[in-house]
Structure 1
Amino acid sequence: GGPSATATVTTGRAGPAEAAERDVDSYLRGSTYDVRRVATALRQLGTTAARMLDADLRGRLGGDPLAPGALGSLAADPSYERLTGVIEGVLRRGRAAGGGPYVPGELDSLLARYPELSAHVRLVGVCLPALPDVLAGRVDPLELYFSGDNPSVLADIYRGNAVADHYNELVARTVYGFAAARLAAEPGRPVRIVEVGAGTGGTSDRVLRLLAALGPDARLIDYRYTDVSSSFFRAAEREFGGHGVPLRFDVLDLEKEPSAQGFGPGSADLVLAANVVHATRRISRSLDRLRTVLAEDGLLVLNEVTCNLDYLALMFGMIPGWWAFEEPAERLPGAPLLDVPRWRQALEAAGFTGVRPVGAAGLDESELDQSVLLAGVAAPPRTPGSAESGAGVTAAAPLPRPGTGPADSLTAHLSGIFAEFLRLAVTDIDPTATFDRYGLDSLGAIQLVRTLEKDFGRLPKVLLYERTTLDAVADYLREHAPEACARFTVTPTPTPGPVPLPGERAATVDDPVVIVGLSVRFPGSPDADALWRNLYDGADLVTEIPAERFDWRRIHGDPVRTPGRTNSKWGAFVDGVGEFDAGFFGISPLEADLMDPQQRLFLQAAWAAVEDAGHRPSELRGTRTGVFVGATSHDYDGHLTAIGRDREAHSSSGLAHCIIANRVSYLMDLRGPSQSVDTACSSSLFALHAAVRAIRDGDCDQAVAGGVHLVLTEPLYVALGQTGMLSPTGRCRTFDESADGFVRGEGVAAVLLKPLSRALADGDTVHAVVRGTGTGHGGHVQSLTVPSPSAQADLISSVFRRAGVDPRTVTYVEAHGTGTVVGDPIEVRGLRLAFAELTGEQGDVPAPWCGLGTIKSNMGHLEAAAGIAGLVKVVLAMRHGVLPASIHYQRPNPLLELEGSPFHVVGATREWQRLTDPAGREIPRRAGISSMGFGGGNAHVLLEEPPGREAATPVAGGPRLVLLSARDEDRLRAAARRLLDHLSAHQVPLPDLAFTLGEGRDAMAARLALVASDQDGIREQLDAFLEGRPGHYTVGTAGPPAPWPGGALPENLLDRGRAWAAGADIPWSVLGGPRGSARRVSLPAYPFAPEWHWAHGPATEEPGPA
């Protein structure tokens, strides 16, 4: 919550402004107006209107208005594209509210319950039935509102009803209190008042009546009644001229400089504006201009709706001016309105002070659907042309360029289209300016492309994200629609074509970097085997946010209507995020409690990745091994701050993101580069790219790379909900027409990388070959968070060229694919551009050859760990020769434009077949993985199936010695259970198994040695150990390491095992005999103790998330 909307606050005001506030506070304390009751009524009106419209549209369309394309078919005017999007949301909320189909007479019933809403109910009853006709262009909304049989239907909203009267009274008492105090303090001095956007006088009426109570002093009020049009003035003079307050009627348009309209700097002591400032194109510019008009110690009084209401969206969304705003990021989603925090921020940025909302007694400001905002001016106003405001500064006209000057009528034609669509003068269109300058949003960009298609034929729907200036669009059209362009080109000035850059050399990578070890811990997937089962089965691993994280009910709601709410209660979560084997790593319980769990999980994952490669972590001590990790979340910082433990000594290292990588290097004594990376959602692939480059450049010999992300607290859920990015249905429907945003997820993964030559020499199992990696940025596009298809295409092309890979041999791309309506098509467009450039095939292809999918459909968006999650999925798919389905995909998003492209969505799990070359030889499976950060940082990785290994030389049969160890007996039993489960699911050659466990694991205190001749025998001995039955095994507890003195060992393998179990430090080459052709294989890693570490304050015993 925020401050009370009525509590007396210190605003720093004095004199008349302070007196005005006292008058308002006094009125509110005695007011009987019930804000909560009215808020409930208005929301019920919105729900009723939604159901009423739903029934009307169903009848007109002959089907479900929420069916794909149904609402879009109604809108004849491109300017209503955004309104149809709002209507869709209103209809969905109306259905979610329940109540069944609309029944005639419901509006009357609502009016009977809430008679104070008579004007609002009448507005809905009169205008809502005309909404479909307005969309279709058959009815002019201005005619609907201002003429015909109901000329006052809109004006009645602003006065003469309980809602309007309450807020008009607040404004009037503020103005009266200010004027009375000023006149008392400075008798005889006129009080200069400017009302902006007075219109039909809904607020003016009450203000002027109250000012008239000043008696003879009312003649000292200089009241300027203004509007953008003089058409209101004659009626206003007739109605208000007899109130006893001198009136002047002047035109004032906040889209123009006030000084040019007769309102000089400091020319007003008080400015009031009711329901008007939000309707301007740029709030910051309008407030700058109001501040210029106000004198020092002046007072600004704004009366504004401060939340989104569905009935308002339906009624006012029909008026073109509703959508005139140019900076949607500063407004409430899908509307020109601002809530109180946004107003406060905008006012303070413009130099106003002591911003205070008033509305009702005893309510938090977040509960106000409407507010009167008071703001003072303490500093001298900024004047036109000042460096601060930029007002009145005329930008230099862009210099004409060859081929795009006045003679180029294509550019002129496009300028006219853009100007009409954006409601600007043609002279306001700069062909070199990026579209974000005009406040063009995603829906508008797509609708504008549809407008262009009338002249130029079929175009990519995300063209304006790829070509971000009018000149760039013109260049695209000249290249791809030359015949259509010829109609608009008059004597084009020839320009030299682009000078081709030297071709990038397709590097012959004789010794590529490969993946030899991996470790994962994802939602519902504690290891790689579990992950593969979930992918193969098409599991949906999304759940409600568990109570152990936080209570989602505190923040769940409609983010459009209510600040501080999110529409998602969903996520995909890792079990046991507080579990950590601190003793294993020699970390004290206190330090472990204050370590970000991301540090703990990645530390364990890095250790496990090394063991998965079949190497002892102790082998890496002192080596040039790098560590690179992507991480972004700071949720544990917030937790420690909330419990007052963020200033303890260990929190300095426990919360630092650099320590996620550095602690791995420190504890494992690794001497290569150690780096944490934050590029938002592309972080883990940026980390992988950095690791590969470090190996190639000689900065390290091998590297651990990966990502980690945990979701522990509420704030980012709320912030993302407010942006509209999250899926309210809890599903990542990537590439599907029903995509409605992404679901948050968490996880950790690490891979061990080294050059292929070294991996083969070490006898490693190669999981995949990294044929290429690359990173880049989207540059300046529509907005910071919008991806650039052309930049993505450039990056992908560069990766493929450097790797020397023909895209026709790449049969799968693991897409970023967050499941957003525009983001998915932009990504596909980038891939399409890249493949077209690399293959030279610019037109449609006969048949698609490359599948698209994403792990996000199974477990949501793992944010910083998203890229590494996709990479692990591809590695496992290559291992099993199967492409898992991208679940929730049913019908393609029509903006994808997959027809004629190389791509198809993998909607069902299927075999991943290898291609063959002209000679009939199999081509290794190849795949790309894309990852995109919301700040523009893009990464792409090209993976290839590992080379086939030569058949192993047969090894003589017979019994083998198999070793297991752990820090204590409990962990030893856990390790035995893991190995037994693994061998029950996988066939592992006995020599490889024995060699990997003997040579690739560090020996610890609690030890188990067993002897068997085959895999069944190993399972039998493990089961006997776990059940406490006798068998061909021995257990022991090693004391301090005892060096082996050399000499002959017992011939009996179990006797050798007893010596090792007792603590003898015997090399495996001696203990296990000749290695032969045995290879390192992937086996279960160490089972870390699930000790609980979670910081809590002294007054709580809460254990934290599970």
Structure 2
Amino acid sequence: MQVLETLIAHDQEQAVVLKLSAETVSKTNNLLNDREVLKATTHTSLQLQEILNPPYVHEGAYESQMFQVCIKSLLQTLQEMGLEKAAFKTEGSKEINVYRRNVKANAADWDGARWIDDQSLLITELSAALGISGKYERLLQSMLNALGTSGHIEIEKNRIVIPEAIKEELPGFDLSGAIGNLSKVHSGHRVHLELLSRCLSSLKKILTGELRATDVIFPEGSLAYVEGIYKGNYRADYFNELLTAEVAASIISAIGEKKDGDKFRIMEIGAGTGGTSELLFRKLAGYEASLVYVYTDISKSFLLHAERNYSAQAPYLQTALFNIEESPELQEIEVGSFDLVLGTNVVHATKNIGRTLSNIKAVLKKGGLLMLNEIARTDLYTTLTFGLLDGWWLSEDRELRLEGSPGLSAAGWTAVLAEQGFEQTKIYPEGSVLPQQVIIAESNGWITIPRRRPSSSPLSSSQPSSPVQLQAKQPLREEQPQAVQDSLNPGKSLRDRLELKVRGIASETIKLPEADFESDVPFTEYGFDSILGTTLMKNINEALNITLKSTDIFNYPNIKELSQYIHERYGKEINLPVTVPQAEPRPVETSVTASVKAVIADTVTRPRFISEIEGQPVVKEPAKTGDIAIVGLSGQFGAAGNAEEFWDALVKGKSLIEDVP
């Protein structure tokens, strides 16, 4: 019956019904019971335009020299950490002997993946012996692959050894000098080499967990060391030019077909520092009235960067948080509404490529174009820089990925795009083995989203709705935000003033109104991630002349706890004068059309956890003293059996989170 109902509900003329095994179902996003398939109601007028691709000039000399710097510095670090002293069990000596023979015979033909997979225990043991954090086991595997295939390590019995000729070269290798010499000869890669120098210099501390990779790559939340990687150098500019030329040609050729007032809707996913965006904005100059450009990323720090740097250049710019690993419908992004989606080096950095492409496809109109600029090969430079970040190794579909890399081959992209209902896939430059590739595909118009389930509001009842009237307790100061009320009290203690100061710095850092912040709500709920969190710590340090660590935002995850820590740790060193701002009183509203949330927001301190439900006009009477009556309550409370037990847990601060059986 479910098959018939599904078939009748859609306009497919034919269908093939298959009963799948549990294993197959687990890998098939579109057939899960908790998802439904819809058809996009709007068709785009965009058509892919063929453009000429200039030949790519290979940089063989630079890449060879840079590889030598990477491999020698890596080996030097692992030797210092005790690589040759680490022993492991010798089960599976047959595979180890095969590995040794292959390395000596032809390193390029060695299938390091098979050896490592068969001997995964060796990687775990080696990580422990070297003091490497467990989360870096796949990184260690990739590093050993590179060292093995290049002949820089061998295995003898139960140990890894460095050939004598290689070992004799290591003491004379100086990373700083090697990077400096390479920068002089290849000045166009200076930005790449600066980042490489930072990462290799800190590699040991990163691997052992003493230092976070984000603190090295994004020091104090700065994007300075990565911004130049994505633009202003030959490789990045070549592929950005190729991608943006395709995007611009497709849009400009179709603008004449648009009706007055209609606009092409473009979304950039994982826009980051805007290396691709900036070039595209220049190509679209003169067509501003015909465009809407939604600049998205998972990190708000990049959205703030875009608003600061590109708003004047692209007045049609909008920004939005979008995690492409989750359905857009769960993130308030309209499905089936975009003519084109583009992205550079973003899709590969997700756990499941198929699921990610399904989420991206959900925002496209029928015939909407997907254009991606993605990595096309395993690269030791990338492994030793961006490969240090946790997200690089999150993939769950390793059978689709390149060995030692989260990227996909051209054939891999073509296959997975077809599985998700993309058509007419093209890969540019065709037939080339280059560091990057541009992938273009067209949506067939079918959208997969989480299945909608009927739900009732916890505040609904069988009684007819009527205007809601609540009697509010008199606030300390009529109609003033709490932050302003606190600031107007000159009797505040240092701890209280620190809390106000931290709230103000957080507000300025993430560009949210100060009144929106509550002391016990985690920073993450306001959009602080590892990059913005580092920036917040930097800003607090500068304002108070103290030395918070970037990790303190995780140890003290809200304004109250962080302020208390600052008071306890630095209280005697801080001189924070009492300031009395001149706040203008807000006018008292007499009648509004509001939600229940807006009404309760004047009387309780945590309105964000109450669902917004449109109500009838609410008349505000002058505030009176008295209690608020809650006349109805229903819900499911997890480990708490009823509302009373749930309330008791809240009062005591008890967690109701349990392990899944």
Give the TM-score normalised by the residue count of structure 2.
0.51
Aligned residue in 2 for 1:190? 263
Aligned residue in 2 for 1:357? 427
8 A contact 1:159–1:203 mirrored in 2: yes
Aligned residue in 2 for 1:223? 293
Aligned residue in 2 for 1:137? 209
Summarize the Cα distance change of 1:65–1:249 in structure 2 as closer, same or farther, 3 Å threshold: farther
8 A contact 2:127–2:133 mirrored in 1: no
**Structure having greater relative contact order (Cα 8 Å, sep ≥ 6):** 2
Letter in 1 for 2:446: P
Letter in 2 for 1:80: Y
For the pair 1:127 / 2:147, whether they are aligned, the reply is: no
The equivalent position to 1:109 in structure 2, one of 165, 172, 181, is 181
For the pair 1:91 / 2:91, whether they are aligned, the reply is: no
Matches within 5 A, 1:463-862: none
Aligned residue in 2 for 1:50? 71
Matches within 5 A, 1:183-582: 183-188=255-260, 189-212=262-285, 215=286, 217-359=287-429, 364-365=431-432, 367-377=433-443, 379-385=444-450
Q: Shift of residue 43 of structure 1?
A: 4.9
Q: Shift of residue 192 of structure 1?
A: 0.4
CA distance in 2, matches of 1:195, 1:370: 18
SS at match of 2:47: helix
Summarize the Cα distance change of 1:324–1:43 in structure 2 as closer, same or farther, 3 Å threshold: farther
1:71-125 Cα deviation digits (max 9, x unpaired): 5433442211111111212222344598743632333333344333322222211
CA distance in 1, matches of 2:45, 2:211: 51
Letter in 2 for 1:37: E
8 A contact 1:307–1:337 mirrored in 2: yes
8 A contact 1:53–1:129 mirrored in 2: no
CA distance in 2, matches of 1:227, 1:182: 27
Once superposed, what is the RMSD of the aligned Cα atoms?
Answer: 2.8
Summarize the Cα distance change of 1:296–1:129 in structure 2 as closer, same or farther, 3 Å threshold: same
Q: Shift of residue 186 of structure 1?
A: 2.1
CA distance in 1, matches of 2:64, 2:452: 43
The equivalent position to 1:18 in structure 2, one of 35, 48, 55, is 48
Letter in 2 for 1:312: T
Q: Shift of residue 149 of structure 1?
A: 10
Summarize the Cα distance change of 1:199–1:74 in structure 2 as closer, same or farther, 3 Å threshold: same
Q: Structure 2: where are the runs of 5+ without partners?
A: 1-42, 89-124, 154-164, 455-661
CA distance in 2, matches of 1:244, 1:323: 35
CA distance in 2, matches of 1:65, 1:115: 39
Q: Shift of residue 211 of structure 1?
A: 1.4
8 A contact 1:225–1:248 mirrored in 2: yes
Summarize the Cα distance change of 1:294–1:65 in structure 2 as closer, same or farther, 3 Å threshold: farther
Summarize the Cα distance change of 1:71–1:106 in structure 2 as closer, same or farther, 3 Å threshold: farther
SS at match of 2:136: helix
For the pair 1:171 / 2:233, whether they are aligned, the reply is: no
CA distance in 2, matches of 1:374, 1:203: 16
Aligned residue in 1 for 2:528? none
CA distance in 2, matches of 1:131, 1:208: 37
Matches within 5 A, 1:1078-1089: none
Q: Shift of residue 236 of structure 1?
A: 1.1
CA distance in 2, matches of 1:122, 1:279: 23
Matches within 5 A, 1:861-876: none
1:1017-1071 Cα deviation digits (max 9, x unpaired): xxxxxxxxxxxxxxxxxxxxxxxxxxxxxxxxxxxxxxxxxxxxxxxxxxxxxxx
Matches within 5 A, 1:27-66: 28-29=53-54, 33-34=56-57, 36-37=58-59, 41-61=62-82, 64=84
SS at match of 2:372: strand
1:413-469 Cα deviation digits (max 9, x unpaired): xxxxxxxxxxxxxxxxxxxxxxxxxxxxxxxxxxxxxxxxxxxxxxxxxxxxxxxxx
Q: Shift of residue 60 of structure 1?
A: 4.4
Q: Which protein has the larger Cα radius of gyration, Structure 1 or Structure 2? A: 1
1:261-316 Cα deviation digits (max 9, x unpaired): 23223211000011111111110011111112111221101110011111211222
SS at match of 2:271: coil
1:623-677 Cα deviation digits (max 9, x unpaired): xxxxxxxxxxxxxxxxxxxxxxxxxxxxxxxxxxxxxxxxxxxxxxxxxxxxxxx
8 A contact 1:47–1:94 mirrored in 2: no
Letter in 2 for 1:279: A
SS at match of 2:59: helix
Q: Among the aligned pairs, what percent are the same residue?
A: 30
Aligned residue in 1 for 2:36? none
CA distance in 1, matches of 2:320, 2:45: 29
Letter in 2 for 1:308: T
Matches within 5 A, 1:148-167: 148=220, 151-167=223-239
Summarize the Cα distance change of 1:392–1:163 in structure 2 as closer, same or farther, 3 Å threshold: farther
CA distance in 2, matches of 1:238, 1:173: 25
Give the TM-score normalised by the residue count of structure 1.
0.31
CA distance in 1, matches of 2:235, 2:44: 30
Q: Structure 1: where are the runs of 5+ without partners?
A: 1-12, 386-390, 395-1106
1:787-817 Cα deviation digits (max 9, x unpaired): xxxxxxxxxxxxxxxxxxxxxxxxxxxxxxx
CA distance in 2, matches of 1:112, 1:350: 47
Q: Shift of residue 14 of structure 1?
A: 11
Letter in 1 for 2:445: P
Summarize the Cα distance change of 1:345–1:259 in structure 2 as closer, same or farther, 3 Å threshold: same
Higher normalized helix content (fraction of residues): 2
Summarize the Cα distance change of 1:222–1:108 in structure 2 as closer, same or farther, 3 Å threshold: same
8 A contact 2:44–2:368 mirrored in 1: no
- The alignment covers a number of residue pairs equal to 359
CA distance in 1, matches of 2:359, 2:65: 38
Summarize the Cα distance change of 1:333–1:72 in structure 2 as closer, same or farther, 3 Å threshold: farther
Letter in 2 for 1:199: G
Aligned residue in 2 for 1:547? none
1:897-944 Cα deviation digits (max 9, x unpaired): xxxxxxxxxxxxxxxxxxxxxxxxxxxxxxxxxxxxxxxxxxxxxxxx
SS at match of 2:210: coil
8 A contact 1:192–1:222 mirrored in 2: yes
8 A contact 1:301–1:375 mirrored in 2: yes
CA distance in 1, matches of 2:298, 2:244: 22
Summarize the Cα distance change of 1:14–1:137 in structure 2 as closer, same or farther, 3 Å threshold: closer
CA distance in 2, matches of 1:383, 1:71: 41
Summarize the Cα distance change of 1:151–1:324 in structure 2 as closer, same or farther, 3 Å threshold: same
CA distance in 1, matches of 2:149, 2:407: 20
CA distance in 1, matches of 2:385, 2:228: 14
CA distance in 1, matches of 2:316, 2:392: 33
Aligned residue in 2 for 1:74? 130
Letter in 1 for 2:449: P
Q: Shift of residue 252 of structure 1?
A: 0.7
Q: Shift of residue 372 of structure 1?
A: 1.1
SS at match of 1:144: helix
CA distance in 1, matches of 2:281, 2:87: 51
CA distance in 1, matches of 2:71, 2:183: 16
8 A contact 1:191–1:222 mirrored in 2: yes
Aligned residue in 1 for 2:501? none
Summarize the Cα distance change of 1:116–1:81 in structure 2 as closer, same or farther, 3 Å threshold: same
Summarize the Cα distance change of 1:89–1:393 in structure 2 as closer, same or farther, 3 Å threshold: farther
